[in-house]
Amino acid sequence: MNEPGAPEGGTRQAAAEARDRATAGDLDLGKDLTGLRDLTRAQVEGILDTAEPFKAISRRKVKKVPALRGRTIVNLFFEASTRTRISFEFAEKRLSADTVNVSSSGSSVQKGETLVDTARNLEAMNIDMVVMRHGSSGAAQFLAERIPSNVINAGDGRHEHPTQALLDLLTLRDRFGRIEGLKIAIVGDILHSRVARSNIWGLLACGAEVAVCGPRTLIPAGIDELGATVLNRVEEAIEWADALNVLRLQLERMDGGYVPSLEEYNRCFGVTLERLRRAPETVAVLHPGPMNRGVEIDSDVADGPRSVILPQVTNGVAIRMAVLYLLAGGRPATAASAVA
Ligand code: CP
């Protein structure tokens, strides 16, 4: 595929392509981004590096570059979303792609049409990419194997949420200047969390140490086999970590009593100012959202100086631009010229 938005010829372009050829084998993401589990460190860092120049677009008065002009992208959101859906849409529009949004309500999915039939009908209208959020684990991979368009997983069941983890990694790299050697504690409902899985794989790939912390009922069996340490007390996690990634209780995915009550959860595992007072001021707090204030995180932490929750959201647009650009055939080395 041609370099998206690239000028014809030119020494700058040629030099960038030459530089890129040396590492292209390591960085090529392939057709789809369905998860971080199988990505190499070079691929993860390549996405983060590609996002860097894209950050500037959203700060400009005219927030648009022609990098994906002429590409058609369908956003298929079969589950509720605020940040991911809007962030992908901003990323697509700022790269000048043509976008269409489809949700289950109001589409023929409500009449029983299958996922593959929906996608094949969209493909019959000559689309290039599908961004999909779905309640079933594995749905993105299932679709990716059945349609020629690029598929990007915007969260599938309890499985993966790769662009969320990538924006978390970018935010950590912004804050600490590195990911290698950082100690990251993921605190909360790990059992139902696609964000936790993608973060564990992405962080470990980049050389961070990862711990998970939550009630035993919300820690999946075998999580240590992924390379994460299990910490039983939130105080222990706070003492150990350079950054806490706080996850909400996913009540909509729970089919039983995993915690006695939300008040009890906050009392035992809530990330509160009182608990954080004992930690160094450098400890950062992330949360993928949506937050349940007063349950997994207190407002004075979410809105306090340690919080990087809104910078995470800002970085989400740049990360999604980077993923779209790379899957469309762009290269990390040419991202800077694509935004110029
Ligand atoms: N973090 C995240 O996926 O948020 P949304 O559900 O609002 O997209």
Q: What is the pLDDT of residue 26?
A: 67
On whether the CB atoms of residues 116 and 145 are closer than 8 A, the answer is no
Ligand 1: which atom is nearest the Cα of residue 84? 8
How many Å separate Cα 273 from the centre of its chain? Answer: 27
Among 177-181, 248-252, 301-305, 321-325, the minimum mean pLDDT is found in 248-252
- Measured CA to CA, the distance from residue 325 to residue 235 in angstroms comes to 41
Q: Ligand 1: distance of its center to the CA of 169 in Å? A: 16
How many residues make up the chain in this entry? 340
Measured distance between the N- and C-terminal CA atoms of the chain, rounded to whole angstroms: 21
- Measured CA to CA, the distance from residue 30 to residue 326 in angstroms comes to 9
Q: Ligand 1: distance of its center to the CA of 332 in Å? A: 26
Query: 267: part of which helix (H) or strand (E)?
Result: helix 262-269
Residue 257: how many other CB atoms lie within 10 Å: 8
Mean pLDDT across 8-14: 47
pLDDT at 318 exceeding the cut of 80? yes
**For residue range 115-146, what is the model confidence (pLDDT) as tens digits?**
999 989 999 999 999 999 999 999 999 999 99
- Measured CA to CA, the distance from residue 58 to residue 101 in angstroms comes to 21
Name the residue of 81, 168, 194 to mutate for ligand 1: max ligand atoms within 8 A of Cβ: 81
* Strand, coil or helix: 268: helix
Confidence grade of residue 16 (pLDDT, cut at 50, 70, 90): low
What sign has the CA pseudo-torsion 122, 127, 130, 131?
negative
On whether the CB atoms of residues 53 and 178 are closer than 8 A, the answer is no
Ligand 1: which atom is nearest the Cα of residue 154? 3
Q: What is the pLDDT of residue 4?
A: 64
Q: What is the pLDDT of residue 1?
A: 41
Please report, to the nearest 10 degrees, the dihedral formed by the alpha carbons of residues 141, 143, 144, 150 taken in order. -130
Name every protein residue with a CB atom under 6 angstroms from any ligand 1 atom. 81-85, 155, 161, 164, 288-290
Q: Ligand 1: distance of its center to the CA of 236 in Å? A: 28
Spell 147-174 as b/e; 16+ CB within 10 A means b: bebbbbbbbbbbbbbbbbbbbbbbbbbb
Q: What is the pLDDT of residue 18?
A: 46
Of residues 160 and 3, the one with the higher pLDDT is: 160
- Measured CA to CA, the distance from residue 124 to residue 226 in angstroms comes to 40
On whether the CB atoms of residues 247 and 195 are closer than 8 A, the answer is yes
Q: What is the pLDDT of residue 17?
A: 52
Ligand 1: which atom is nearest the Cα of residue 79? 6
Name the residue of 79, 103, 153, 164 to mutate for ligand 1: max ligand atoms within 8 A of Cβ: 164
Q: Ligand 1: distance of its center to the CA of 3 in Å? A: 30
Q: Give the pTM.
A: 0.92
Which residue puts its alpha carbon closest to atom 6 of ligand 1?
81
**For residue range 33-51, what is the model confidence (pLDDT) as tens digits?**
999 999 999 999 999 999 9
Please report, to the nearest 10 degrees, the dihedral formed by the alpha carbons of residues 119, 123, 127, 133 taken in order. 10
Of residues 10 and 135, the one with the higher pLDDT is: 135
Beta bridge partner(s), residue 244:
185, 285
pLDDT at 5 exceeding the cut of 70? no
Which residue puts its alpha carbon closest to atom 5 of ligand 1?
81
On whether the CB atoms of residues 272 and 235 are closer than 8 A, the answer is no
Mean pLDDT across 142-156: 97
pLDDT at 255 exceeding the cut of 70? no
